[in-house]
Structure 1
Amino acid sequence: MKKHDGLSWFVFSIIFGFTLPDSQGQLVVSPVGPSRVDTTAGSNLTLVVSFSGAPDPAVTWFKGPLPVITWIIGSNSPPDVATEYEEVLRLEPNGSLGFVHVPLNYGGDYSVEMTKSGLGTASVNFTLRVFESFQNVTLTVWPDLIIEGSEQFLLQYSMLRGVLEHQLWFFNGRPITPEDNPRYSERPGSLAVRHPHRNDTGRYTVSLSNPFSSVTLHQNVTILYGPDEPRIQISPLQDFYLSGDSLTLSCQADGSPQPLVEWTFAGKTLPDTPAGVLNLSRVLTNQGGVYTCELRNQMTGVRQHQSVELLIYERPSGRARCSVMANNNRSLRYECRWSGGTPPAKLSFPDFSEGDTLENLTLTVNASGEMDGKIVTCQAQHPVENSRCNITARSPQNFLPTVRTDVDPAGQIVVSIGCLSRAEPPAVVSWFRGGEPVSDGNLISDDTTQLDIRHYNVSVLLFQNYTCSCRNPLGGRSKVVHLQEPSISNFSLFPHKDGTIVTLTWEIPPTSIVTGFDVQMCGPRLVVGDGTDSREKGEEFRTIMRKPGSARSADVFHLNPKSTYRFRVLPRALMAEGQPSRPDRIGPPSGLSGPAVAGIAAGIPCSILFLLLLCGLICSAIYWRKTKTRQTRYPVTTTQMQTPHIVLPGPPKSPPDYNRLRPTSSVLSVAPPSFVPPPPVRVATTV
């Protein structure tokens, strides 16, 4: 609003006063124009008022509660202006308030109050807003590197000058509404995005405006993430490969930026793996083993790795060969060989032993007349091919020693070795330690089938070889038991449906000395009682429970179904630790690949179309059959000479099918009963 000179306002006030209706002696003050005035800093304007009902009232203008200028209209004395407002405020002859080069801080609430003795007081309120145009506005993002899962990132704008009335934020062109998404927090001058994830990558826009100026700024934000869980693919996929085969390993994972891939084998980094693809041509047996794929985010330094084991086999040479030799003319020595394969072939005598031996199997038995003519078979098993050979000899049946480990009340390791041979008459067992007979009766059970060995140190037990000799009048058989250090022979993992519980099972070698097990885990901490996860990840295996030596399974509770865990079992013999089992993992399953989803989506319409065509063909066939069945057939009449009736030979003819001539059930409200024809009767007519 521009300032007018005093004369113009005086003439306007006189004309306005004559046009007002009679106020009946009451002082009335009203604004001329809007009571809310917007202007820019440095401009001139006037808050215009008019009054009626009394001549020359006293006028006072207030800024908020503070009076800034007073005057009696028509008085010869100048208006009384507050000292700090003298350079800016001017009072017009009609009581209007003028501003000269209004400063930015003069915005606020103004009111005018007019008073006339005997007529009371009248007032009018104004709101003055002073704005500046935007200059040198910039939009920045903090921090520079935004990682998925961090606490938050912040978008801030700054300006050299300008007064803001409205600010609007947009993400990829869509308005941001903190009310709908609590992850957004909007404040004057900034926008915070809490717990960013990969979907927050995009273009952010802020629009600033006031009645006299507006500006729009853009900022591209990239959320760094990954690498995610690696995905290893083998082509062609087989249980094992033969020496000379070729295959390809590929490793991929999602991440921003795209993760770098590196393959390692036997502790060495493999070169030439572009895009995570490793080509293996004409492989050899020494190339079998564990291949590890490591992915690294070059911006954040985050690493992920995944391993896969390749089994590369080679068939043993020739066929399995069996032989039998005399041993001191008192026993027979059976031998079975099949060497040269990778892995070595497992050999066994099914009639004598349940165990397997690699490449070379030897069995010594006493000679007896009953063994003549007995066929002994050696089974040779290899992943590529199986073989067998037969030997003829005589001997009692073989037996397999058993080993059980306990701890006595004194804290000693008790190893119980049992030897029981199937023989008739029953065999008597003799025990030897390192070739010397065991004479201590406290170590041998009453039926002589079990030997108990006690010691505090497991290493002492491992240095001793024990032999049990089973003999009867027909012959004898001896077995040497070599005790093994604590070890695991088989380890399996079975997750439950909800993913919060997993069951671990394991076995130990028959001659392994084990008194207990440590169940160990690598991964996030277990979910605590209130259902939250500590988010603390351990890179090393840690013991979460202990099990006695008789245990073969354990249940682990309070797992997070969305996290990945690795488990293993560590065998113990008191304080001595053995080799842990191979680690096994549990975690979220990977979803279908893009080509698989596309194939399913393309196959559904084709299947529906095929079913519709098939239904149409079936309906057409049924309709054609009904139409053909309902066609009327008329008898053919011919003129013949009348001949006498003759009894027809052969069986009587069946009556017509009346059920077919009746209306179908589709045209009846109730299905009609079926017509049952009477039994056929032979009739003869004599003329």
Structure 2
Amino acid sequence: MEKRGEGTLAIIMLALIQGFLSTGAVEVRPSMNPAVVGASVTLSLSPSTALHSGSWTVGGSLILTWTGAQQAVFPSHTGRATVDIQTGALTLTSVTVADSGLYVVQSVKPQLQAGASLSVYVLISNVTLKANPTDLMEFKSSAVVTCSVSSGSSLSFLWLNSSSEVTGSDRVQITDGNSTLTIVNVTRYDQGPFRCLVINPLSNSTSAPVNFTINYGPDNMALTVNGQNTTSFFVGSNLTLLCSAQSGPEARLQWAFRGETLNTTGPLLELLSVSEKQSGSYSCLASNHRTNVNRNITTNIMVAKSPLSGSEQRRVHVGLLSLLLLVGVLSSLSGKL
């Protein structure tokens, strides 16, 4: 039987070299292609042709032969392969991935040879991601995520960050047949969510998302006074100092005046009815307990008296009122004249 298989393989190879696998207009057509594992597939001749005898092979190995009403199935396909002795159609039951290949039918009466390729796939199920650890330090840690499936064959992997495809770069490595994603020296923009899309010709499935916690900062600090660029104010003004810093986790903010720590934390420092004594440097100190980084930003505020003192302002007001009264009297006299 082994010698017969080798002879058939030689015949098939010769046919491929000559550039044909069919005689005349007869073609082999699978009932489904690609096929899912476990399905039944029938390879029929089109147009239907009565074959009195012949053989079927896959990848050069014999599946079965028949003459008239008699057929012989080779051990590799016992119980899974049958032939319609009238039409020569081959039926395979409970197909497996190993059943993928080039199927060729040959007949002497009538003279015929035709073939077709069949692909069998396992449906994809249960796509999962494994990432360890997920709590990372910016510029110091690397993220490694592995994608796996419970079942599936001929798999293609695609990585997504939110809805954008992740591609390789100096920092991004996609290895192990694209099933492993490595991001070297993560940044705050590598938080995710990351997903893995797995595809084969019959199915596709996407994993649940994985997010990373990236610890960074504090940096990019900013400090404003009353939302303005100016830092000079008059006595009696109300001031609101606002401090911000980019940080993950959120930075702790502490205020200081002239280098001395104040009893105020948080982004706001409010100063009501300021006096000249409150002129000086105001600092916002930002600290991150995860990165152990401390930064600060300082602004110098000048508080000065108004150009006119209170008594001077009162005298000006009285003078203006007297002048207005005088103008009113003169206008009245002018009208009478």
TM-score range, shorter chain: 0.5 to 0.7
1:102 aligns with 2:92: no
Change beyond 3 A, Cα 1:85–1:233: same
Decide whether the 8 Å contact of 1:164 with 1:208 is kept in 2. Answer: no
1:601-654 per-residue CA deviation (whole Å, 9 max, x = no partner) reads xxxxxxxxxxxxxxxxxxxxxxxxxxxxxxxxxxxxxxxxxxxxxxxxxxxxxx
CA-CA distance at 1:109 after TM superposition: 0.9
Decide whether the 8 Å contact of 2:255 with 2:264 is kept in 1. Answer: no
1:74 aligns with 2:68: yes
Q: Which amino acid aligns with 1:254?
A: Q
> Hey, what's the Cα distance between the residues in 2 that align with 1:100 and 1:215?
27
Q: TM-score, normalised by structure 1?
A: 0.33
1:296 aligns with 2:292: no
CA-CA distance at 1:40 after TM superposition: 2.1
1:306 aligns with 2:300: no
3-state SS, counterpart of residue 230 of structure 1? strand
Q: Which amino acid aligns with 2:262?
A: L
Q: Which amino acid aligns with 2:108?
A: K
Change beyond 3 A, Cα 1:44–1:54: closer
CA-CA distance at 1:210 after TM superposition: 4.6
> Hey, what's the Cα distance between the residues in 1 that align with 2:250 and 2:268?
11
> Hey, what's the Cα distance between the residues in 2 that align with 1:87 and 1:302?
70
1:47 aligns with 2:37: no
1:131 aligns with 2:122: yes
Q: Which amino acid aligns with 1:37?
A: N
1:38 aligns with 2:30: no
> Hey, what's the Cα distance between the residues in 1 that align with 2:135 and 2:186?
12
Decide whether the 8 Å contact of 1:27 with 1:53 is kept in 2. Answer: no
> Hey, what's the Cα distance between the residues in 2 that align with 1:153 and 1:111?
46
Gaps (5+ residues) in structure 2?
1-21, 304-337
What RMSD, in angstroms, separates the aligned Cα atoms of the two structures? Answer: 4.6
> Hey, what's the Cα distance between the residues in 1 that align with 2:284 and 2:46?
86
Change beyond 3 A, Cα 1:151–1:206: same
Decide whether the 8 Å contact of 1:29 with 1:122 is kept in 2. Answer: no
Q: Which amino acid aligns with 1:237?
A: T
Which residue is 1:176 aligned to?
Answer: 165
Structure with the higher helix share, 1 or 2:
2
1:262 aligns with 2:254: yes
1:117-165 per-residue CA deviation (whole Å, 9 max, x = no partner) reads 995x724132222332x43333455541244435653454333223465
Decide whether the 8 Å contact of 1:36 with 1:126 is kept in 2. Answer: no
> Hey, what's the Cα distance between the residues in 2 that align with 1:237 and 1:57?
102
Decide whether the 8 Å contact of 1:204 with 1:221 is kept in 2. Answer: yes
Decide whether the 8 Å contact of 1:90 with 1:98 is kept in 2. Answer: yes
Decide whether the 8 Å contact of 1:30 with 1:51 is kept in 2. Answer: yes
Which residue is 1:161 aligned to?
Answer: 151
CA-CA distance at 1:227 after TM superposition: 1.4
> Hey, what's the Cα distance between the residues in 2 that align with 1:185 and 1:306?
37
> Hey, what's the Cα distance between the residues in 1 that align with 2:291 and 2:166?
34
> Hey, what's the Cα distance between the residues in 2 that align with 1:144 and 1:213?
30
CA-CA distance at 1:81 after TM superposition: 0.8
3-state SS, counterpart of residue 138 of structure 1? strand
3-state SS, counterpart of residue 267 of structure 2? helix
CA-CA distance at 1:273 after TM superposition: 2.0
2:205 to 212, 215, 226: 215
3-state SS, counterpart of residue 150 of structure 2? coil
3-state SS, counterpart of residue 248 of structure 2? coil
Q: How does 1:602-641 map to 2 (within 5 A)?
A: none
Q: Which has the higher contact order (CA 8 A, sep 6+)?
A: 2
3-state SS, counterpart of residue 217 of structure 2? coil
Decide whether the 8 Å contact of 1:295 with 1:304 is kept in 2. Answer: yes
Which residue is 1:237 aligned to?
Answer: 231
3-state SS, counterpart of residue 106 of structure 1? helix
Change beyond 3 A, Cα 1:295–1:88: farther
CA-CA distance at 1:195 after TM superposition: 5.2
Q: How does 1:301-450 map to 2 (within 5 A)?
A: 301-306=291-296, 308=298
Gaps (5+ residues) in structure 1?
1-25, 314-687
Q: How does 1:115-130 map to 2 (within 5 A)?
A: 115-116=107-108, 122-130=113-121
3-state SS, counterpart of residue 178 of structure 1? coil
Identity, in percent, stands at: 22
CA-CA distance at 1:230 after TM superposition: 2.7
Decide whether the 8 Å contact of 2:286 with 2:295 is kept in 1. Answer: yes
Structure with the higher strand share, 1 or 2:
2
> Hey, what's the Cα distance between the residues in 1 that align with 2:109 and 2:194?
63
Which residue is 2:104 aligned to?
Answer: 112
> Hey, what's the Cα distance between the residues in 2 that align with 1:305 and 1:53?
85
Change beyond 3 A, Cα 1:90–1:152: farther
CA-CA distance at 1:254 after TM superposition: 1.8
3-state SS, counterpart of residue 37 of structure 1? coil
* Count of residue pairs the alignment pairs up: 275
Which residue is 1:379 aligned to?
Answer: none
Decide whether the 8 Å contact of 1:38 with 1:131 is kept in 2. Answer: no
Q: Answer with 1 or 2: which has the greater Rg.
A: 1
